Amino acid sequence: MSVRSMKVWSWLHTWTSFICTLFMLLLCLTGLPLIFHHEIGHLLGTEIEAPEMPDDTPHISLDKVMQIGEARHPGQGGMFISREPDDDRVWYLTMSDTPTSTSGLHQVAIDARTGDILGEPQLESGFMYIINSLHIDLFAGLPGMLFLGLMGVLLLISLISGAVLYAPFMQKLAFGEVRRQRTTRLKWLDLHNLLGIVTLVWFLVVGGTGVLNAWADLIVKAWQNDQLSTMLEPYQGKQPPQQLGSLEAAVQSARRYLPDMQIQFVAFPGTSFSSPHHYGVFMHGNQALTAHLSQPVLIDASTSQVTDSRPLPWYFTALQLSRPLHFGDYGGKPLQIIWAVLDVITIILLSSGLYLWLAKRRRRKPYTASASISSPEAQQG
């Protein structure tokens, strides 16, 4: 690699790293508890626990579940009703004043067998709400998500440029060597480079999936304007039903239409995942991978009949696959622990990069790319 190319890659790595480092540190720090959100929920007492009953205990109808929720919060209607992928004992009913409300929401956890109210998860308060909001959008909504997505793009550029610079750097040292006999700054540089190359693939995966998640609202909008609008063309110009039909009948229609899939959630008429004329019943598969892949079934809200159903487009599928991969949800507890260890290593990597950048500024030398893995001083040994 020529000296000119080395300078360009070094400049690119240094400045993209510097710009995104503080935000990536924030995301790594908030991402760590999110990996174990269920476990933390149990510790904080916020996780809903369903009582043990025989497996063949019959379930009450979803219409009854709706009646229980409406009695709990009079004047509010359903937005979504969902359940955990591996637990059909509890329905989570999200309610609001209008189908498009973004605040004043209530969620009621209702036992699917007895109809007992098991709790009301706090959607807009609590420790995990703060952590989740900081991680997703910095409490800034869509602008915050897009900003973090931009930081993710800079991170990917930083990782790629660091990998390009790593080969010539390692021509001077054995792999993994940390020169403990040299200055503190050089020891941290060697450690930074080692941690960077060890976590490169993981960091690329988590960074790339993070960018996709940051674009989630835009991806949903694209689906609404593309596939969903096509599915709703027969209803253009029609008046919405004055009274909704049976929720239970709608879900049963979706189950008959896709018998090899399970209910993931139901979007009520007027919400972003349905239309004023339809229940949007989202089904998912039964395997480890397909459990994260959905297919919507549009059910006429007055007749409870299936009107359309199509597999989600590739960009929506990519978003759905990225979410569990981002938090290590595919492989159970072992993968969660691996993700957590790599997250801690990344925190050290980012902190060392920030330290090296500040050390470089203090030295005031014209070309000592301390924050990059191409430092001439490091190469000279």
Q: Rounded to two decimals, what is the model's pTM?
A: 0.84
Q: Which two tokens stand for residue 283?
A: 């089904």
Q: Which amino acid is at 184?
A: T
Contacts of 59 (CB under 8 A, 6+ apart): 88, 112, 113
Q: Which two tokens stand for residue 29?
A: 């720090």
Decide: 359 and 370 in contact? Cβ < 8 Å.
yes
Decide: 250 and 259 in contact? Cβ < 8 Å.
no
β-strand partners of 295 = 283
> What does the alpha-carbon distance between residue 123 and residue 130 come to, in Å, rounded to a whole number?
10
Degrees to nearest 5, angle at CA 346 with 211 and 13:
70
> What does the alpha-carbon distance between residue 370 and residue 377 come to, in Å, rounded to a whole number?
9
Note down pLDDT in tens along the chain; length 381 residues.
677 888 888 889 888 988 999 999 999 999 999 999 888 988 888 889 899 999 899 999 999 999 999 999 999 999 999 998 888 999 999 999 988 887 889 999 999 999 999 999 988 888 999 999 999 999 999 999 999 999 999 999 999 998 888 777 667 766 666 776 777 777 777 778 778 888 899 999 999 999 999 999 999 999 999 999 999 999 998 999 988 999 999 999 999 999 999 999 999 999 999 999 999 999 998 877 788 899 999 999 999 999 999 999 999 999 999 988 898 877 678 888 999 999 999 999 888 888 887 777 776 554 444 334 433 333 333
